[in-house]
Amino acid sequence: MEDKIKKIRKILEDDLSNIKELNNLLGLKAKYFGKKGLITELTSNMKDLSIDERKEVGRVVNEIREEASSKINALEKKLKEKELALKLEQEKIDISLPSCKLKRGSRHPFNRIIEDVEDFFVSQGYDVVDGPELETDENCFRLLNLPLGHPARDAQDTFYIDEEYLLRTQTSSVQARTMQSNVDKTPIRMICPGKVYRRDEDATHSHQFGQVEGLVIDKDVSLADLKGTLELFAKKMLGKNTKVRFRPSYFPFTEPSVEVDVSCFKCGGRGCPLCKQTGWIEVLGAGMVHPNVLKMGGYDPNVWSGFAFGTGLDRFAMFRYMIPDIRYLYTNDIRFLKQFYRKDEENEIK
């Protein structure tokens, strides 16, 4: 027995001095303490021994077991520390290095206008709704009192996809959608900002542009409500000194219809090239919802009334930021967009 233990001790010393890596330690533990391990085997013929002999063998085996396990554990601890130190060294980062400069974006002028419009109308209790740009002829025209062959269709050069589908020419299509989808026929107060498409393009027109539509349906809604709402809206968007005037006009989906002008924000109404010396700039179309439109939307015109309005978002952006060509808003030229970076928004831009 003594010899066996001496031999094991010798093998253990050799093993311990040879092992340099943590993952080799696992095999080492099995070599001594596993089922067929060198130390486990010392007790294999215990049952053939006398009680006294067993006691003695047990004691000696325990001794060598404890000795081996404490030596292996000590080595394990040492190797772990070594490994950690190595990892820390390898993963060290030099925090004194200058970082690469992150390029910050800025909010598109168009989105800023939309946010302001939404803020105003949400504060007045309106919902902001959405509608598809690929629209049906029915929602874009027929349900808005523009049957096939109606001359006012010519005013909006339409991109047709096929007989029924088109790219919407006006966000007014969302009026039709909102009335239809409101199955309980409850009051409506909504705005819908979005893109629309028409087949013309020059410095003041783009084949794509932005509009906001508004629709209010309730009992006893009058032209005075429309005027009050749009006056407040114009002042909020263009400044509290803005004057507003309403001119009679024609739209197929409203009766009576009006066009809304605001006093020129460049010259304050005195007359300048921007307002073509008139002192006024047209910004909105609006009116009382036509009884036919109410009827087709499922609202009884004898019970319900409403007003609607539509405005070009681009015009607000062009006026507010003095943008000379509407196409700048859609071509995503980074040099143009960079000008709208505002220091005070730094924390908001994520």
Q: Which residue is nearest to ligand DAH (CB)?
A: 310
286 binds ligand DAH (CB under 6 A): yes
Q: Which is nearer to ligand DAH, 269 or 310 (CB)?
A: 310
Q: Which is nearer to ligand DAH, 69 or 180 (CB)?
A: 180
Extended beta strands in the chain, E state: 127-128, 134-136, 165-167, 188-197, 208-218, 244-251, 254-263, 280-289, 305-312
The piece of 68-76, 180-188, 307-315, 319-327 that touches ligand DAH (CB under 6 A) is 307-315
In angstroms, rounded to a whole number, what is the distance separating the alpha carbons of residues 155 and 138?
17
In angstroms, rounded to a whole number, what is the distance separating the alpha carbons of residues 69 and 30?
11
In angstroms, rounded to a whole number, what is the distance separating the alpha carbons of residues 315 and 211?
9
Q: At closest approach, how far in Å is the CB of 228 from ligand DAH?
A: 16
Location of structure tokens 């601890």: 77
Vertex 74 angle, CA 71 and 78, to 5°: 140
The piece of 2-10, 183-191, 228-236, 281-289 that touches ligand DAH (CB under 6 A) is 281-289
Q: At closest approach, how far in Å is the CB of 211 from ligand DAH?
A: 6
DSSP 8-state assignment for residue 270? S
230 binds ligand DAH (CB under 6 A): no
Q: At closest approach, how far in Å is the CB of 296 from ligand DAH?
A: 15
In sequence order, what DSSP letters do the residues of 276-328 get, joined into one string?
TTSSEEEEEEEEEEPHHHHHHTT--TTT-EEEEEEEEHHHHHHHHHT-S-GGG
Site track 15-44 with ligand DAH (rule: CB under 6 A), x = hit = ------------------------------
Torsion of CA 242, 248, 253, 255, to 10 degrees: 120
The piece of 5-13, 24-32, 135-143, 282-290 that touches ligand DAH (CB under 6 A) is 282-290
Q: At closest approach, how far in Å is the CB of 191 from ligand DAH?
A: 10
DSSP 8-state assignment for residue 333? -
Task: Determine the 3-state secondary structure of 169 from DSSP.
Answer: coil
145 binds ligand DAH (CB under 6 A): no
Q: Which is nearer to ligand DAH, 29 or 153 (CB)?
A: 153
Q: What tokens were used for 62?
A: 């325990």
Q: At closest approach, how far in Å is the CB of 156 from ligand DAH?
A: 7
Considering only residues 102 to 131 of the shown chain, the ones binding ligand DAH according to CB under 6 A are none
Residues that bind ligand DAH (CB under 6 A): 170, 172, 213, 251, 253-254, 285-287, 308-310
